[in-house]
Structure 1
Amino acid sequence: MTPVHLAPTGTAGPELLQLELSDAPSPAVTDITLHPDDPLGETRDAEHLPGSRGEHLLQRAFGTVDRANRFYRDQVLDHLNDEMRSFVTRMDMAFIGTSDAAGECDVTFRAGPPGFVQVLGERWLAYPEYRGNGVMASLGNISENAHVAMLLVDFVTDLIGLHVNGRARIVDDAELRAVHPDLPAEFERGRTPERWVVLEVVEAYIHCRKHIPRLVPVDRTRDWGTDDGRRKGGDFFGVRSARTAAR
């Protein structure tokens, strides 16, 4: 069998560079080939092996290859199975990780009624974007770098999480609704999305429950879409007041 040679990146330490230049063992996980039907009418093909090149190198460096390959084999999918899709429809919050073209990262929190993250099929999710603070941090990153990571966690009942990694596109509300007319027309307080982030699933896998705290929901009024600074949290961390005082 012909050994696989990895080109050095020039950014790793001596031990990892030596690993990069050594003969790599044959991958223990079969390549996953995606042939998704795009919900907006386009078809794209992509090949993906679970995990990144960097994590594979570290698995070899730290002796965790067998453990990692068991996880890939037992838990990582290139789509959402029935249980995952059902889980998404029950969730009322999500954490979204993005980065720009230079790799500068941002993570944000999104929330809504259960199922606000829409399941468009086994390989597609979509979540709504409303009028916000105007910064467009997540959408700006996606416009430069389509790779997005989503984490949904059930803190109340099952105490389990679901990672969904994939490629995203920004789609106007009317455009997506023309293809998926069954999307909710309104959420709470009559808010209608301005646009959607459509996520093509590349990896989906479990986040284990051992360190997830159990939370007890408490009734509260959510001021969806408010521009009231106090209701939005005001100057909680004192940034504005400190800058004002320094003038």
Structure 2
Amino acid sequence: MNSTGEYLLQCEYGTRDRAERFYRDQLLDHLNPAMIEFAGRMEMAFIATADGAGAADCSFRAGPPGFLHVLDERRIAYPEYRGNGVHASLGNIRENPNIGILLIDFFRDRIGLHINGRARVVADAEFRAEFCGLPVESRPGRRPELWVEVEIEEAYVHCRKHIPGMRQVVTDRPWGTDDVRGKGGDYFGVRADRAAGVGR
């Protein structure tokens, strides 16, 4: 659903006809079969949430192809694994269920899919009781602790003209590790700087 801000800017910049054509030709309130296939092969997703006051957060989720589960044409879900304990995205969803998900294929088709909707957080046991046949992971770091279920309100294409082509590289990554070095450690030097009294 286009916002008041979108409408006003379209009028201001003379793009109203172009925007209406996009809404008419590309915007759905569900996933069509091509979108379902696309979502089912993605290995990463960018997640946008905001708290009750509107402060925004963007996060990244990843997993094997199919980690984003299409439950039906109007619902998708993704697992939440053990993380840093902050729960920024989940905390936002508790205050404000609106969520945006961006899926991008950088490797094969160089195209993206936006999915916007309303999310709820569900315990793993409760989710599995409702949806049988979900994969069971043996490694602790790969076992979902929670699920985010999204009721879809909008689904539409993200055009390819600015999506860079990338080459997929298979690496042995320490999935689910609690090892500091395996997780990236103090890559940006924040802890080291604070210990040295820099940038407080």
TM category, shorter: over 0.9
Is contact 2:110-2:165 (8 Å) kept?
A: yes
How far is 1:187 from its partner?
7.3
- Alignment correspondent of 2:164: 213
Q: Distance in 1 between matches of 2:111 and 2:134?
A: 27
Is contact 1:97-1:149 (8 Å) kept?
A: yes
Q: Distance in 2 between matches of 1:219 and 1:189?
A: 22
Residues 100-131 of structure 1: per-residue CA shift (max 9 Å, x gap)? 00000100010000010000000000000011
Deviates more, 1:147-156 or 1:184-193: 184-193
Residues 157-176 of structure 1: per-residue CA shift (max 9 Å, x gap)? 01000000000000001111
Q: Distance in 1 between matches of 2:149 and 2:6?
A: 27
Amino acid paired to 1:233 = G
Is contact 1:189-1:224 (8 Å) kept?
A: no
Q: Secondary structure at the match of 2:196?
A: helix
Q: Secondary structure at the match of 2:179?
A: coil
Relative contact order, higher structure (CA 8 A, sep 6+): 2
Q: Secondary structure at the match of 2:156?
A: strand
How far is 1:244 from its partner?
0.1
- Alignment correspondent of 1:96: 47
- Alignment correspondent of 1:74: 25
Is contact 2:115-2:154 (8 Å) kept?
A: yes
Q: Secondary structure at the match of 1:125?
A: strand
Q: Distance in 1 between matches of 2:141 and 2:186?
A: 27
Of 147, 162, 179, which aligns to 1:228?
179
- Alignment correspondent of 2:73: 122
Q: Secondary structure at the match of 1:102?
A: coil
Cα distance change of structure 1 residues 191 and 220 upon mapping to structure 2, 3 Å threshold: same
Question: What percent of counterpart residues are identical?
Answer: 62
Amino acid paired to 2:56 = C
Is contact 1:92-1:111 (8 Å) kept?
A: yes
How far is 1:231 from its partner?
1.1
Q: CA RMSD in A?
A: 1.3
- Alignment correspondent of 1:146: 97
Amino acid paired to 1:97 = A
Q: Secondary structure at the match of 2:7?
A: helix
Q: Secondary structure at the match of 1:231?
A: helix
Of 61, 70, 93, which aligns to 1:110?
61
Q: TM-score, normalised by structure 2?
A: 0.96
Residues 111-156 of structure 1: per-residue CA shift (max 9 Å, x gap)? 0000100000000000000111000000000000000000000000
The number of residues matched between the two structures is: 198
How far is 1:52 from its partner?
1.1
Of 124, 137, 145, which aligns to 1:173?
124
Q: Distance in 1 between matches of 2:2 and 2:138?
A: 36
Q: Secondary structure at the match of 2:183?
A: coil
- Alignment correspondent of 1:237: 188
How far is 1:188 from its partner?
6.7
Q: Distance in 2 between matches of 1:147 and 1:123?
A: 15
- Alignment correspondent of 1:184: 135
Is contact 1:128-1:197 (8 Å) kept?
A: yes
Q: Distance in 2 between matches of 1:149 and 1:112?
A: 18
Structure with the greater alpha carbon radius of gyration = 1
Q: Secondary structure at the match of 2:191?
A: helix
How far is 1:221 from its partner?
1.0
Unaligned runs of 5+ in 1: 1-49
